[in-house]
Amino acid sequence: MQFRTVGVIGAGQMGNGIAHVFATSGFDVVLNDISAEALQSARARVEKNTARQVSKGQLSEADRDAALARIRTTTELGELGASDLVIEAATEREAIKDQIFAGLAPSLGPHTVLTSNTSSISITRLAAKTDRPERFMGFHFMNPVPMMQLVELIRGIATSEETYQALLGVVGQLGKTAASAEDYPAFIVNRILIPMINEACYALYEGVGNVASIDASMRLGANHPMGPLELGDFIGLDTCLAIMNVLHDGLADSKYRPCPLLVKYVEAGWVGRKAGRGFYDYRGDSPVPTR
């Protein structure tokens, strides 16, 4: 399998980061979203982040210009069908992902490999609804994509060894490190990380500590670079809740029950940085705890 062209579906935080790292690694990228405004924002963000790399000496001006020239944007999903590799990076809802792959199917060439950047949903189940389960894998990047070194590779039950080896090679071309995970709910990183954030929500809910003390305790007492509530805001509390629901439904274990306070914040629309409010209020000059 030779990958030269990559289609990325979803121009949000993950999608634009994925487009960024593929373009700076020499791949031609087609970035898709249903929103032209989202595509414009994604393009601007890639330009800003690559400019930062140039200022730090991580990328030359010529390489930056070449990378930006390799990114094309489109609102037409069918334009990704000719890509060698497609990476779905849409909202963490299975029904939306199924709809995307179904909409892409009529335009796909026989050689195209399909992947999902899902952080928790069954790869086997997603793949089974396509016409190429043997050419389907989980390809989970960490956020922020240009900075984080890990990529989780998740094989569905039908994924071929050829597909796995080919994508392992792609991870190497991107200068990142692969971790192979089995297709169980939330895989490796989020199986461990998101329940920790959920437990921090319970500590807040039960009055064990306030937002500031919980985050300071984990930063200074466990040497975490970011407190769990701050991290939840960064990831998106709606995403954290979706992953907890996948764990709870998929494993049927009460230890994965989403914290009622996490549910309440999501219901309020206070889902973190992207909304301006979560466990912190980001609307002022500096974040202020909301509890």
- Residues with a known catalytic role: 119, 140, 152, 190
Considering only CA atoms, give the Rg of the chain.
Answer: 19
DSSP letters for 192-260: HHHHHHHHHHHHHHTTSS-HHHHHHHHHHHS--SS-HHHHHHHH-HHHHHHHHHHHHHHH--GGGPPPH
Please calculate the CA angle 122-236-146 and round it to the nearest 5 degrees: 80
Write the CA distances from 49 to 59, 71, 145, 170, 233, integer angstroms: 11, 14, 11, 22, 21
| Cα–Cα dist 274/264, whole Å | 17
| Cα–Cα dist 114/85, whole Å | 6
Q: Are 21 and 50 in contact (CB under 8 A)?
A: no
Q: Which of 119, 148, 265, 270 is nearest to 198 (CA)?
A: 265
